[in-house]
Structure 1
Amino acid sequence: MDIKELSPFLLCLFSILAPTIFIILFKLSQSRNNKNVPPGEMGFPWIGETIKFYRAQRKNRLFEDFIQPRMIKHGKIFKTHLMGSPTVILNGANANKFLLSNEFKMVVSSWPSSSVQLMGKESIMEKQGERHQCLRGLIGTSLSHAGLEALVPKICNYVQHHLDQNWKGQDKISLYRSAKTLTFSIVFECFVGINVHPDTLAIFERVLEGVFAPPIQFPGSKFSRARKARLEIKKMLVEVVREMRKQMEEKQEGGEAGGMLLSRLVAGMIRGEISEEEVVDNVVLLVFAAHDTTSFAIAMTFKMVYQHPNCHGLLLQEHADIMMNKRHGENLTLDDIKKMKYTWQVARESMRLFPPIFGSFRKAITDIEYEGFTIPKGWKVLWTAYGTHYDAEYFQDPLSFNPSRFEEPVPPYVFLTFGGGPRLCVGYQLAKLNILIFVHYVVTCYDWSLIYPDETITMDPLPFPSHGMPINISPKL
């Protein structure tokens, strides 16, 4: 056999043997020096179990179709392979505490490349240690007690204006879409301090579509469209930031015009504490974090209230009692918000059953020893809200709706709708105000009913009601 005849034979032989050799090398690389890693299955090389994970997530059945079967088979700690990385999934309050309280020490936040590029490399989600603490402090000052007191009447005005403009005269409305439009305006205008152009929400939604898409740049791809939208947002925000800086410097203010977040960030930029890129990236991140998840939480709260008439009656009574002490047209105060204890129990129970964020990835920056297992340096670690929210150890009859669970304080690291540890959601108080104030004005001004009481929830990339949660409405007389 001469060389010309041998070449096709060798090529054919290689094509047959290469996949087998690759799989063997992959298995060896996973097992080498990892004898104490948690049990589990890594799936196919590179792909791992990513497709199964995404399929379950898209149907909003991540717990039922992906996590629970593996917990039954392997226990509360198991390994898998997701999005190109070997990953350990931890479940339970002790595991959550161990992982989240060791932020910056053993693990760091680890988001997909597409998310980092679109949210911003200089955003707080990418910052570690002291830099994270500095940015968190600048953002958090806008949500101090005084900041919250100032926000409440502003949010009340936005909610009432939105209902007057979009609900009055209608007999049917998309509750989810309405809540999303409203919370976006509140976050952007009321909290950040930037007037919203009618097209701004649509541009942000194009960015959101690409945050978990493969970071491949080719015309027409989700990621490509998202990057283009992100550049539009950056251009707009840079112009606003530079104009505000100019005005503040001309007035010789270190200023906090009206206590708005953007003015505080720009003041920090003038003092040299934060860069222009950090200001832009953190505004983008906060707008995404504060409005999309909040609108879903609002929708799920109304879903649960409608499905449980007794709950509806108790909630209405609480808001009627608050209204008895208000003059006609008088806005709510922060003290009124504190009286909405039952409403907040209902909202938290709704978020327990339907968490707006299923969990978050971390990356081990050192070999981690936990519960007799080794999580190797460089591996991803995932905590999920489902690991405690749906566990009878923490919530009796966990799949039933029972707001009274929250009459007493819930143990730490059990209810994780807003995360935990150093990365506890910095805007959770703003989310709380948005939910409670919106609920107040809807239930006191309108009679309403769900058109699809059992409407399914889907995810793309965050959860949302598949039909937009349409409701029938009529003004109270």
Structure 2
Amino acid sequence: MAVEMNSFLPLILFCLAAIISSTVFFQRKKRCYTSKSKLPPGKLGLPLIGETMEFYKAQRSNRLFEDFVEPRIAKYGKIFKTSLMGSPTVIVNGAEANGFILSNEFKLVISSWPSSSVQLMGRNSIMEKQGDQHRFQRGLITSSLSCSALGSLVPKICRAVQLHLKSYWHGKDRVSLYCSTKLLTFTIVFECLLGINVEPQMLGTFERVLEGAFAPPINFPGSKFSRAKRARVEIVKMLQKVVAEKRQEMEKTSMGCSSSTLLARLVAAMIRGDLTEEEVIDNVVLLVFAAHDTTSFAIAMTFKMLAQHPHCYSRILQEHDGVMKTKKEGEELRLGDVKKMEYIWEAARESMRLFPPIFGSFRKAVADIEYQGFTIPKGWKVLWTAYGTHYDGEYFKDPWRFDPSRFRESVPPYVYVPFGGGARRCAGYQLAKLNILIFLHYVLTGYNWSLVHPNESIIMDPLPLPSKGMPINISPKTPK
């Protein structure tokens, strides 16, 4: 995707506006740490701008590791400093570094998202909560994804997948796999997990918010951030109405925490006074964004890998045929059936190793951190990356080779991190697993398919996605 100079104008304006304060910050840090502490090697570049342009350029072409991280590892080692989006930043790589940073959440580091992401996702969600508040809200969300809850979700997801395929695939010979799965996963989050009916315009509105989530937070007319802010206002109005209706319904019927949907659990907490309306809405918004884009990308990359490795695909078909033989015609899958899909889950995990849905995430040091002989000063950002272990031969032999058998053995902690780790590990990873496996089951057993563009490139906008939407040719399988 070509990047026009106009797309960088908001960033440049934002950089110039803050350059004086940034210069003062750098001078202060230089005085404080040059003489008494050893900073990691690397370069900070120009005040505020730093190496942001190089970072964005590499990220947009989905070559963040190859063009930005790997050359600096070769030059400085696995821990190095840079400056990104106005903040001095230390990038750490490796399982030990991942474990150190992610296991010290709330102690040495806290989550640190860009201002635009915080404003658009919501200041009152678990993304911004710390300590006990984070643990409480996360507990409410994960309670809807317990073993018993997952058991009740499987039939709902099966029906959603079957209806989606009937509505959008039946009678067609080509579909956009990525776009189709985005709509499906969006629907599953709303209808199966939250219990909210999806209206036709809702996905487009959420997509406009996502477009501004990593844009410079400059709210001038026509900017991505401005459009995203307006879209968020629409979403909040819609969710305020939904939450009010759910509260009224629950107060009339005395429904409590035993309610089956996540929305009902959140509203029950609001009725008890444990959550505010803003916290309910912001967590719903965050969950929708966290669940559907990343899962859709994981599904698309699994299809890509299966197309390129027919021997794996053949084995997976045998596995799914074995599951089908235990079911009566038209009978839905159960949680026990999904647990039998071991090899396809190995293939999906290997696809996410090679194509992680998130490249890592930022933290902020809340105290001076001593690590590996270096000091990470208080107030600096820390970026851990999935690439730092996923592509390292120390952890995965011949790391660029697709090999699902890697996951037959247990993987050491903090080596495989497509869902993050520690206290902020993705709360919805079990839902993502169900979505991936159930969708793959119904497609692989119901359709013949092939990629239209086998070598389709991956871009970032702002999350990774197939550049052409991954169109596939499809035809229904003849029942045996």
- The TM-score with structure 1 as length reference comes to 0.94
Q: 1:186 corresponds to which letter in structure 2? A: I
**Contact 1:254/1:271 (CA < 8 Å) preserved in 2?**
no
1:17-96 equivalence runs, <5 A: 28-35=27-34, 36-96=38-98
Q: Distance in 2 between matches of 1:129 and 1:46?
A: 30
Which among 216, 219, 226 is matched to residue 224 of structure 1?
226
Aligned to 1:177: 179
Corresponding residue for residue 151 of structure 2? 149
Rounded Cα–Cα distance in structure 2 between residues aligned with 1:251 and 1:414: 47
**Does the Cα contact within 8 Å between 1:300 and 1:354 map onto a contact in 2?**
yes
Q: Provide the C-alpha distance between the structure 1 equivalents of 2:26 and 2:379, rounded to a whole number of angstroms.
A: 17
Task: Give the partner amino acid of 1:285.
Answer: L
2:178–2:296 Cα contact (<8 Å) kept: yes
Paired AA for residue 410 in structure 2: P
Give the letter aligned to residue 363 of structure 1: K
Q: Could you tell me which residue of structure 2 aligns to residue 313 of structure 1? A: 314
Please name the residue that 1:273 is paired with: 274
Whole-angstrom distance in 2 between the partners of 1:34 and 1:313: 58
Q: Which residue pairs with 1:111 in the alignment?
A: 113
State the 1:382 CA deviation: 0.3
Secondary structure of the structure 1 residue equivalent to 2:448: strand
Aligned residue number for residue 392 of structure 2: 391
**CA distance in 2: counterparts of 1:343 and 1:29, whole angstroms:** 53
- Offset from partner CA, 1:259-301 (integer Å, 9 cap, x none): 1100010011111111110000000000000011000000000
**3-state secondary structure, aligned to 1:467:** coil
Cα deviation for residue 30 of structure 1 reads: 4.7
Q: Give, in angstroms, the shift of residue 129 of structure 1.
A: 0.2
Equivalent residue of 2:469, what SS?
Answer: coil
CA distance in 2: counterparts of 1:404 and 1:39, whole angstroms:
37
The answer as to whether partners of 2:23 and 2:47 remain within 8 angstroms in 1 is no
1:96-141 CA-partner distances (Å, limit 9, x unpaired): 0000000000000000000000000001010000000000111111
26-35 vs 144-153, which moves further = 26-35
Structure 1: runs of 5 or more not aligned: 1-20
**d(CA) in 1 for partners of 2:477, 2:127:** 44
TM superposition shift of 1:180? 0.5
Instruction: Write the deviation string for residues 366-416 of structure 1: whole angstroms up to 9, x where unpaired.
Output: 000000000000000000000000000000000110000001111000000
C-alpha deviation, 1:33, in angstroms: 2.4
Any conservation in 2 of the 1:290–1:431 contact (CA below 8 Å)? yes
In structure 2, what is the Cα distance between the partners aligned to 1:433 and 1:236? 28
Aligned residue in 1 for 2:10: none
- Hey, what's the Cα distance between the residues in 2 that align with 1:470 and 1:69? 34
Paired position in structure 1 for 2:103? 101
* Equivalent position of 1:133 in the other structure: 135
1:235 to 215, 234, 237: 237
1:126 match: secondary structure: coil
Shift of 1:255: 4.8
- Give the drift of 1:247: 1.1
Q: Kindly provide the amino acid, as one letter, of the partner of residue 253 in structure 1.
A: M
- Cα distance, 1:155 vs. partner? 0.2
Task: Please point out which of 150, 168, 171 is paired with 2:170.
Answer: 168
Aligned length: 456
State the secondary structure of the residue aligned to 2:274: coil
The alpha-carbon deviation at position 67 of structure 1 amounts to 0.1
Which whole-Å CA distance do the structure 1 matches of 2:257 and 2:92 have between them?
A: 44
Amino acid at match of 1:428: Y
Q: Give the C-alpha shift of residue 254 in structure 1.
A: 2.0
| Matching residue's letter, 1:290 | A
Shift of 1:27: 6.4
CA 1:222–1:23 in 2, change beyond 3 Å: closer, same or farther? closer
TM-score, scaled relative to structure 2: 0.93
Structure 2 unpaired stretches of 5+: 1-19
Which residue pairs with 2:207 in the alignment? 205
User: How far apart in 1 are the matches of 2:21 and 2:321?
Assistant: 68
Larger Rg belongs to: 1
Does the aligned pair in 1 maintain the 2:89–2:381 contact within 8 Å?
A: yes
What's the counterpart of residue 193 of structure 1? 195
Change (3 A) 1:256 1:241: farther
Tell me if structure 1 keeps the 8 A contact 2:23–2:48.
no
What value does the CA root-mean-square deviation take over the aligned residues?
A: 1.4
Contact 1:192/1:260 (<8 A) preserved: yes
For 1:23 and 1:115, the matched residues in 2 are separated by 21
| Secondary structure of the structure 1 residue equivalent to 2:453 | coil
- Which 4+ residue blocks in structure 1 deviate beyond 3 angstroms? 21-30
- For 1:159, the equivalent position in structure 2 comes to 161
2:251 to 239, 249, 252: 249
Q: Distance in 1 between matches of 2:59 and 2:33?
A: 29
Change (3 A) 1:335 1:23: closer
**Aligned residue number for residue 124 of structure 1:** 126
Deviation at 1:253, TM superposition (A): 2.4
Deviation at 1:34, TM superposition (A): 2.2
Q: Distance in 2 between matches of 1:274 and 1:59?
A: 41
**Whole-Å Cα distance in 2 between the matches of residues 438 and 26 of structure 1?**
50
Q: CA deviation at 1:193?
A: 1.0
CA contact (8 A) 2:22 2:48 kept: no
Quote the Cα distance in structure 2 between the aligned partners of 1:315 and 1:255. Answer: 39
Q: Displacement of 1:24 after TM fit? A: 9.0
Matched, 1:415 2:416: yes
Deviation by residue 1:345-375 (Cα, 9 ceiling, x = unmatched): 0000000000000000000000000000000
